[in-house]
Structure 1
Amino acid sequence: MTDESPSAWFTLTHQRNVVEIDFAGVITASAFLTIQPTNPSLQAIYLHASPLMTVKNVTLSSATTVDPLHPTPASFALVNPFQPLPTRDPPIDMKSHPEIKRKMWATMAEADEGELAISVSGGWVRLQPAPGQDSHVAFAPIHVQVDYQLVIGGDVVEGIVFKRPGDAGNEYTTHPHDPNKVIFYYLQANPTSVQHISFAAGPFEMHCISAEESHKPIIGFCLPGELEWLENSTSFLPRVMAFTTELGSYPFTDFKIVFVNNLRTECVTAATLAIVSSDLLHPPSIIEQAIEVRKTLSLALIQQWIGINIIQRTFSDTWIVNGVALYILGQFLRHLLGNNEYRFRLKKDIERCVLQDQGSQYPLCMPGIIEPPDAPTTAFINLKAPAVLHILDRYLAKAGTSLGLSQVIPRIFMAALSDALPGNTLTTGYFLRQCRKVSGLDMGTFADQWIYGSGCPRLSVRTNFIKKKFTVELSVSQTIPAIEYLNSLSEKQQQMAIWKRPTQFFEGSLTVRIHEADGAPFEHLIDIKTSNKTFALPFNTKYKRTRRSGHIAARFHKAHTEVDETLNEDEDEAQLQAADRAGIFAYPPWEDEDERRRWKVAEWDEGEANAMLGEGGGYEWIRVDPDCEWLTVIEFAERPWCWISQLQGDRDVIAQIEAIYNMRMYPSPVVASELAKTVLVKNYFYRVRMEAARALSLYNTSECDYIGYFLIMKLFQTCFCYASTTSEAEAPEIRCRPLPNDFSNIADYFVKKSLIAAMADLRDPATRSVWKNVRIALLDLIRLNDNTTNRYSDSYYLAAIIAAISNAFTISAAAQGILSESELESEQLMLKEAKDVLDRAMTVDRLVPSFHNVVTKAGLQAQIKSILAGQRTNDARELLSYTREGNYEPIRKIAFDGLLLCKPPGRSGAVDQYLFDVIKYDHSLTIRRYVTRALSESILVSLALGEITSAIPLPGVLDLTDETEQMRTQRAEGQNNAIVKALRKDFGNKLDVKQLVQDNLIESVTLPDMEIRFALLKLAEVISSSTTEPLPGNIITLTTPLIETPVAPPPPKIRISMSGGGIVSQSQPTHESLMEESQPVVPRTIPKIILNTKGNATANKKKK
Structure 2
Amino acid sequence: MSSKQNKKSSQWTSGSNRNFKLVHQSLTISEINFKKQTIIGSTELTVLPFTNTGKLWRLPLNCKQCRILRVTVNGSHKANNSYVDPTLSICPPETKKRNLEYYDTCHYDAIQSCDSDCSSGAGELVIKIPKAAYDSLGAFVLFENKPLKVMVEFSLEQPKGGVQFVIPPGSASDSPHLHAFSYGLENASRLWFPCVDSYTEPCHWTLYFTVPAHMMAISCGDLTEQLLSADGKKKTFHYTLNVPTAAPCIAFVIGSFEVYPDPVMQEVTHFCLPGLLPILKNTVQFVHEVFGFFEELLSTRFPHSSYKLVFVDQTYQDTSSYSTLTICNTNLLHSNRVIDQVTVTRRLLTRAIAQQYFGCYLLPQLWNDWWLPCGIAGFITGLFCRKISGSTEYQHWVMEEVQRVCQYESEHTLPPLCGTLQVTSASSSSSGPRASIHPHLVSGRELAVLMSKAHLILRSIQLKIGHDLLMQVFHKQLTLASSASQSSDFAHWHNLIISTAGLMKSIQTVSGKDLSHFMEQWVCRNGVPRFHVSFSYMRKKNYVELRLKQDLPRGYSKFVGPMTVVVQEFDGHFSHTIQVEDISTTHELPCHSKIRKSKKRKVPLSHGEEVDIDVSSLDMEVPVLWLRVDPEFQWLRQLSMEQPDTLWHSMLKYERDAVAQVEAIEALEEFPSSTSRDLLRESILNTQFYYKVRVQAAHSLAKLITDTASSGGSPGFLVSVFQKLYGSQAHLTIVRYNDFSDIAAYFVQKAIVQSVAGVRNMHNQCPKEVLSFLWDLFKYSDNQINKYSDGYYFSTLVDSLALTVTPKVAVVPTPLGLDVAKIPVAIMTSESQAILQEIVQGLNIEKVIPSYKHSITASCLAGLRVLQKNGHLPTDSSLFREYASKDNFVEVRLAALKALVDIVQAEHSEGDMNFLLDIVENDIPAVRLWVLQMLASNPPFTRKTESKLNTLTLVERMWSLICVKFSHDSRSRNAAVDVYSALYGRLTPTCLPQGLGIVIDLKEKVARSSLASPALSPKTLISATDDTRPKTISPTPPVSGLLQKELLNSTPSPVIPQIKMEPMDTSPGAAITSGGSTSTGSASVKSLSLKIPTSHLKRPLLPYTHEGGEFPTPSPELGPSGAPSEGSLSPYPSKHKKRKSEHKHKKKNKHKQKHKHRS
Q: TM-score, normalised by structure 1?
A: 0.73
SS in structure 2 opposite 1:355? helix
Aligned CA distance change for structure 1 residues 546 and 428 (closer, same or farther; 3 Å): farther
Aligned CA distance change for structure 1 residues 307 and 781 (closer, same or farther; 3 Å): same
Matches of 1:751 and 1:522, distance apart in 2: 33
1:871 aligns with 2:866: no
Residue 1074 of structure 1 corresponds to none
CA contact (8 A) 1:7 1:46 kept: no
1:274 aligns with 2:274: no
SS in structure 2 opposite 1:361? coil
Shift of 1:107: 6.7
Match of 2:677 among 645, 669, 672: 672
CA contact (8 A) 1:362 1:454 kept: yes
Deviations 1:78-111 (A, max 9, x none): 66768899999xx889979999998877776676
1:639 aligns with 2:650: no
CA contact (8 A) 2:916 2:931 kept: yes
SS in structure 2 opposite 1:544? coil
Residue 770 of structure 1 corresponds to 766
Shift of 1:205: 0.9
1:745 aligns with 2:750: no
Match of 1:803 among 799, 805, 811: 799
1:652 aligns with 2:657: yes
Residue 564 of structure 1 corresponds to none
- Write the letter of the residue equivalent to 1:868: K
Matches of 2:413 and 2:782, distance apart in 1: 49
Residue 957 of structure 1 corresponds to none
Residue 941 of structure 1 corresponds to 940
Residue 408 of structure 1 corresponds to 473
Deviations 1:105-140 (A, max 9, x none): 77766766444443323332469689xxx8971554
- Write the letter of the residue equivalent to 2:789: S
Q: How many residues align?
A: 890
1:890 aligns with 2:860: no
- Write the letter of the residue equivalent to 2:22: L
CA contact (8 A) 1:517 1:618 kept: yes
Shift of 1:692: 1.1
Shift of 1:468: 4.8
- Write the letter of the residue equivalent to 1:749: Y
Match of 2:246 among 193, 196, 203: 193
Aligned CA distance change for structure 1 residues 931 and 458 (closer, same or farther; 3 Å): closer
Residue 245 of structure 1 corresponds to 295
Shift of 1:185: 1.4
CA contact (8 A) 1:29 1:149 kept: yes
Matches of 1:460 and 1:316, distance apart in 2: 33
Match of 1:29 among 29, 41, 58: 41
- Write the letter of the residue equivalent to 2:399: K
Aligned CA distance change for structure 1 residues 817 and 720 (closer, same or farther; 3 Å): farther
Moved more, 117-126 or 658-667: 117-126
CA contact (8 A) 2:84 2:125 kept: yes
Deviations 1:965-991 (A, max 9, x none): xxxxxxxxxxx6xx37x55xx457x68
CA contact (8 A) 1:407 1:438 kept: yes
Shift of 1:416: 2.2
Match of 1:1027 among 993, 997, 1000: 997
Deviations 1:41-82 (A, max 9, x none): 64443433343x444433222xxxxxxxx6233344566768
Matches of 1:765 and 1:84, distance apart in 2: 57
Deviations 1:521-543 (A, max 9, x none): 23233333344444443444435
Aligned CA distance change for structure 1 residues 93 and 845 (closer, same or farther; 3 Å): farther
Shift of 1:880: 1.4
Residue 558 of structure 2 corresponds to 504
1:852 aligns with 2:853: yes
Aligned CA distance change for structure 1 residues 610 and 911 (closer, same or farther; 3 Å): closer
Q: How does 1:421-432 map to 2 (within 5 A)?
A: 422-432=494-504
CA contact (8 A) 2:229 2:235 kept: no
Residue 118 of structure 1 corresponds to 127
CA contact (8 A) 2:604 2:610 kept: no
CA contact (8 A) 1:932 1:1016 kept: yes
Match of 1:144 among 146, 150, 166: 150
Match of 1:462 among 529, 534, 542: 534
- Percent identity, please: 23
Match of 1:476 among 547, 553, 571: 547
Matches of 1:898 and 1:281, distance apart in 2: 27
Aligned CA distance change for structure 1 residues 239 and 895 (closer, same or farther; 3 Å): same
1:234 aligns with 2:277: no
Residue 261 of structure 1 corresponds to 313
Matches of 1:274 and 1:758, distance apart in 2: 39
- Write the letter of the residue equivalent to 2:517: T
Shift of 1:546: 5.8
Aligned CA distance change for structure 1 residues 158 and 506 (closer, same or farther; 3 Å): farther
Aligned CA distance change for structure 1 residues 47 and 467 (closer, same or farther; 3 Å): closer
Residue 171 of structure 1 corresponds to 224
Residue 346 of structure 1 corresponds to 398
CA contact (8 A) 1:125 1:140 kept: no
Shift of 1:905: 11
Shift of 1:666: 1.7
Deviations 1:857-915 (A, max 9, x none): 11112222222222221112111111111211232233223223324699656545544
Match of 2:522 among 450, 453, 471: 450
- Write the letter of the residue equivalent to 1:804: S
Aligned CA distance change for structure 1 residues 706 and 432 (closer, same or farther; 3 Å): farther
1:58 aligns with 2:78: no
Residue 511 of structure 2 corresponds to 439
Q: List alignment gaps of at least 5 residues for structure 1.
A: 62-69, 487-501, 549-570, 587-603, 726-734, 944-975, 1034-1104
Residue 559 of structure 1 corresponds to none
Aligned CA distance change for structure 1 residues 920 and 541 (closer, same or farther; 3 Å): closer
Match of 1:722 among 717, 721, 728: 728
Matches of 1:1001 and 1:343, distance apart in 2: 42
SS in structure 2 opposite 1:665? coil
Match of 2:464 among 395, 402, 412: 395
Aligned CA distance change for structure 1 residues 443 and 546 (closer, same or farther; 3 Å): farther
Aligned CA distance change for structure 1 residues 40 and 244 (closer, same or farther; 3 Å): same
Deviations 1:932-984 (A, max 9, x none): 6666776x3345xxxxxxxxxxxxxxxxxxxxxxxxxxxxxxxx6xx37x55x
Residue 633 of structure 2 corresponds to 628
- Write the letter of the residue equivalent to 2:654: G
- Write the letter of the residue equivalent to 1:690: V
CA contact (8 A) 2:605 2:655 kept: no
Residue 567 of structure 2 corresponds to 514
CA contact (8 A) 2:54 2:142 kept: no
Aligned CA distance change for structure 1 residues 476 and 183 (closer, same or farther; 3 Å): same
CA contact (8 A) 2:334 2:341 kept: yes
Residue 312 of structure 1 corresponds to 364
Aligned CA distance change for structure 1 residues 581 and 787 (closer, same or farther; 3 Å): farther
Q: List alignment gaps of at least 5 residues for structure 2.
A: 1-11, 116-121, 166-179, 183-216, 421-432, 485-491, 815-819, 1000-1005, 1010-1159
- Write the letter of the residue equivalent to 1:285: R
Please identify the structure whose Cα radius of gyration is greater: 1
The structure in which a higher percent of residues are helix is 1
CA contact (8 A) 1:905 1:993 kept: no
1:784 aligns with 2:752: no
SS in structure 1 opposite 2:770? helix
Aligned CA distance change for structure 1 residues 842 and 937 (closer, same or farther; 3 Å): same
Q: How does 1:58-77 map to 2 (within 5 A)?
A: 58-61=71-74, 71-76=76-81
CA contact (8 A) 1:207 1:227 kept: yes
Q: What is the root-mean-square deviation of aligned Cα atoms in Å?
A: 4.2
CA contact (8 A) 1:461 1:475 kept: yes
Matches of 1:533 and 1:623, distance apart in 2: 17
Matches of 1:678 and 1:628, distance apart in 2: 24
CA contact (8 A) 1:667 1:704 kept: no
Matches of 1:97 and 1:320, distance apart in 2: 29
